[in-house]
């Protein structure tokens, strides 16, 4: 006979931001069966003080603590684990999540009593059940096979009203990815599995009735199953604005039925994340990534004509790729679209096949999270450092939308990559920093660069920047632009609309 009344189980993780929620914790909670009434979800962020986090966990006097471990929080989890075991050594701590599902472990997590590798929806309950029952397993590491999605309780009713009002709601229609990109953990999955679409739509409707308007799908390939994709798009198209739906899609699979649905979405309602990574066929072949250039160009060109907000991804440091090759990728994407382009640095995740290039391509990575590439046979350490700064300034100056038209003046007569490369080096020389630079300071630096370095007419630059900076209601004219603002109508109404500020 199990003594459940004396047990307390805490499910926790450190999210990367306060606005994020953990769908994984809610899956675990949903599948706790008779242990659910003694289980509590307590979420934190990596910005919270670890000792305060420990205090808030231990106030529950837990018997078992389950912690979700990811690339963005593993260093903090190590400290959390250390303190929990120091203060409450008899509490059983179970780790799970992508960062501990594949070996080798590059962060010392030896303090954990158990580690679940793989999908833990049911495995966590079974492990807790055995611990509570007094028959814990002998093996510290528990390797799980993929559970049937039909046997998993869904998590959506366990988003709180506070979550719905203040945070992103993460959802999924499938798990797995059919592709084998060597840098990605999803390539390790055996197959793509889909949830019952009818059951899902009922759950999403309940979320909607509770006020949810911000849905982020975590599916790796939303547009793989077109029938399911169309049903999900129909769900949102039938709703009144405003709302925000985010999907990750493959760029070469947009049949007409899907295009017909996408074309109906209003401004600011639909965001598609498209992992391009590289447009160089040789590099794509190196990492086992399918690359149908004609289809990619055709579909991005078509999407550019819709109201969809696109978020394209490029990676710096892929095996064999040079700065010239990466620059050609960026120039090509910019010729196809004016959308957000996220520039990331290659990471070596445990369990992926990217390590097969280590010797031939001179790949050297950091063993400290997030395991960034440090050097390759075609990129020096200095090159990668420069590109990290390039990426950061690109995000600040281009992706955030504050200088949408003004920043384009940097490269109006040449290569986007080459011109912004020079600009990012210049701005770093002025600041010796890439973080904690105010919007006012960024704008002033851009103004100086365009006028003093690029020798553009001050009146033209100031007008362009005023149009950019003042497109949002409530802003005041920056000091550096005030001398040129006499003819500017400062009380003009916002020219943009949308549910998400970054999309605006």
Question: Which two three-digit tokens encode residue 333?
Answer: 């994407």
Question: Which two three-digit tokens encode residue 92?
Answer: 């059983």
- Block residue for tokens 């096949």: 353
Delimit the CATH 3.80.30.20 region(s) of the chain. 159-354
- For the chain, give percent helix, strand, coil, nearest 5: 40, 15, 45
Question: Which two three-digit tokens encode residue 155?
Answer: 């998590």
Q: Three-state DSSP class for 259?
A: helix
Rounded to the nearest 10 degrees, the angle between the axes of helix 416-431 and helix 381-394 is 90
Q: Show the beta-strand stretches assigned E in 140-265.
A: 141-143, 169-171, 174-175, 193-194, 214-217, 244-249
Sheet holding 9-15, edge to edge: 39-45, 9-15, 64-68, 92-96, 114-117, 141-143
Delimit the CATH 3.40.50.280 region(s) of the chain. 4-149
Question: Which two three-digit tokens encode residue 31?
Answer: 């599948």
Answer yes or no: is pLDDT of 306 > 90. yes
C-beta separation of 241 from 208 below 8 A = no
Backbone dihedral region for residue 494 (phi beyond 0: left; psi -120 to 50: alpha; all else: beta): beta
Cβ atoms within 10 Å, residue 318 = 29
Q: Determine the average pLDDT of the residues in 13-29.
A: 95
Sheet holding 340-345, edge to edge: 169-171, 214-217, 244-249, 270-277, 309-316, 340-345
C-beta separation of 255 from 226 below 8 A = yes
C-beta separation of 347 from 185 below 8 A = no
Q: What is the pLDDT of residues 451-468, one digit of tens each?
A: 999 999 999 999 999 988
Which pLDDT value is given to residue 276? 92
- DSSP letter at 139 equals -
Which pLDDT value is given to residue 182? 75
Q: What is the pLDDT of residues 77-88, one digit of tens each?
A: 999 999 999 999
Alpha-carbon gap, residue 378 to 422, rounded angstroms: 20
Alpha-carbon gap, residue 357 to 318, rounded angstroms: 10
Alpha-carbon gap, residue 382 to 252, rounded angstroms: 35
- DSSP letter at 114 equals E
Question: Which two three-digit tokens encode residue 382?
Answer: 């200095």
Please report how many Cα atoms fall inside a 13 Å half-sphere around the Cα of residue 257, on the Cβ side.
11
* Segment among 64-68, 138-142, 160-164, 251-255 with least mean pLDDT: 251-255
Question: Which two three-digit tokens encode residue 474?
Answer: 């409530």
Q: Give the global pTM.
A: 0.89
Alpha-carbon gap, residue 243 to 254, rounded angstroms: 23
Find the helix or strand (DSSP H, E) in which 14 lies.
Answer: strand 9-15
CATH of region 159-354: 3.80.30.20
Question: Which two three-digit tokens encode residue 387?
Answer: 């590109």
Q: Residue 156 — pLDDT band, cuts 50, 70, 90?
A: very high
Q: Determine the average pLDDT of the residues in 172-187.
A: 80
CATH of region 4-149: 3.40.50.280
Residue-averaged pLDDT of the chain: 91
Which pLDDT value is given to residue 473? 67
CA–chain centroid gap for 213, Å, is: 19
Note the helical H segments in 151-193: 161-166
Give percent above pLDDT 90 in the chain.
77
Cβ atoms within 10 Å, residue 411 = 18
Q: Determine the average pLDDT of the residues in 197-219.
A: 96
Answer yes or no: is pLDDT of 2 > 80. no
C-beta separation of 119 from 147 below 8 A = yes
C-beta separation of 81 from 112 below 8 A = yes
């Amino acid at each position: 006979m199990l003594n459940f009344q004396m047990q307390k189980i805490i499910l926790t993780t450190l999210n990367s931001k306060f606005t994020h929620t953990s769908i994984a914790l809610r899956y675990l909670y949903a599948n706790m069966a008779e242990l659910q009434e003694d289980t509590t979800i307590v979420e934190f962020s990596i910005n919270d003080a670890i000792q305060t986090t420990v205090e808030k966990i231990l106030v529950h006097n837990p018997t078992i603590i389950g912690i979700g471990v990811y690339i963005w929080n593993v260093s903090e989890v190590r400290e959390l684990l250390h303190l929990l075991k120091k203060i409450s050594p008899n509490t059983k701590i179970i780790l799970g999540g992508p960062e501990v599902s594949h070996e080798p472990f590059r962060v010392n997590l030896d303090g954990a009593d158990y580690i679940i590798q793989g999908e833990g929806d049911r495995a966590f309950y079974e492990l807790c059940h055995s611990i509570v029952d007094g028959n814990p397993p002998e093996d510290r590491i528990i390797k799980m096979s993929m559970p049937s999605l039909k046997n998993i309780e869904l998590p959506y009713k366990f988003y709180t009203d506070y979550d719905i009002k203040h945070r992103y709601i993460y959802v999924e229609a499938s798990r797995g990815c059919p592709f084998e990109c060597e840098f990605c953990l999803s390539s390790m999955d055996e197959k793509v599995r889909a949830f019952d679409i009818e059951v899902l739509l009922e759950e999403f409707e309940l979320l909607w009735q509770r006020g949810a308007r911000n849905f982020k799908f975590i599916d790796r390939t939303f547009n793989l199953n077109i029938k399911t994709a169309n049903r999900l798009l129909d769900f949102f198209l039938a709703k009144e604005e405003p709302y925000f739906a985010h999907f990750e899609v493959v760029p070469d699979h947009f049949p007409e039925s899907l295009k017909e649905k996408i074309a109906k979405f209003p401004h600011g309602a639909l965001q598609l994340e498209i992992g391009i990574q590289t447009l160089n066929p040789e590099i794509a072949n190196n990492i086992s990534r399918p690359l149908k250039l004609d289809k990619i160009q055709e579909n991005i060109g078509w999407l550019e004509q819709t109201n969809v907000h696109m978020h394209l991804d490029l990676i710096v440091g892929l095996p064999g790729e040079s700065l010239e090759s990466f620059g050609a990728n960026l120039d090509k994407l910019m010729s196809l679209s004016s959308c957000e382009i996220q520039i990331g640095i290659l990471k070596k995740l445990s369990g992926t096949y990217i390590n097969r290039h280590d010797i031939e391509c001179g790949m050297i990575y950091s063993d400290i999270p997030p395991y960034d590439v440090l050097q390759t046979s075609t990129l020096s350490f200095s090159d990668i450092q420069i590109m990290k700064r390039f990426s950061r300034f690109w995000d600040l100056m281009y992706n955030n939308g504050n200088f949408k038209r003004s920043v384009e003046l940097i490269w109006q007569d040449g290569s986007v990559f080459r011109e912004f490369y020079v600009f990012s080096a210049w701005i770093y020389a002025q600041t010796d920093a890439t973080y904690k630079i105010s919007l006012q300071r960024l704008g002033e630096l851009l103004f100086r660069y365009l006028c003093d370095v690029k020798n553009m007419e001050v009146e033209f630059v100031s007008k362009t920047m005023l149009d950019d900076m003042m497109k949002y209601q409530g802003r005041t004219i920056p000091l550096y632009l005030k001398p040129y603002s006499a003819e500017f109508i400062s009380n003009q109404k916002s020219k943009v609309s949308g549910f998400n500020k970054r999309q605006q």
